[in-house]
Amino acid sequence: MLYHVRMDVHLPPDLAPAERGDIIAREKEYSQKLQREGRWPHLWRIAGEYANFSILDVADHDELHALLSGLPLFPYMNIEVTPLAMHPSKIAD
């Protein structure tokens, strides 16, 4: 199943620099692993925001929830999820 996901990050301003750096490094490692596995095929930065639009390709809602809640930045995110379906006018690949 494909999902369009918007993730907005809101790190606390008083977060210690070392902790901030650690969380961001773990987030990058985790997200790149999922990209290499094909479960996170698209990732775009939203210009001017600490946010992204992503397309995730997972088996079901439960796998999506596990993937998102496993993000190191998850406690600091607002996440909006939209399930996607094939459009009948799309030209097949």
Domains detected in the chain: 2-84 (3.30.70.1060)
Q: What is the mean pLDDT of residues 15-23?
A: 97
For the stretch 28-60, pLDDT in tens is 999 999 999 999 999 999 999 999 999 999 999
Give the per-residue pLDDT at 93: 67
pTM of the full structure: 0.91
Average pLDDT, the chain: 97
Give the per-residue pLDDT at 75: 97
Is the pLDDT higher at 91 or at 40?
40
Q: Is the dihedral of CA 13, 52, 55, 33 positive or negative?
A: negative
Give the per-residue pLDDT at 92: 78
Pair 58, 52: CB distance under 8 Å: no
Q: How far apart are CA 14 and CA 33, in angstroms?
A: 29
Is the model's pLDDT at 27 over the cut of 90?
Answer: yes
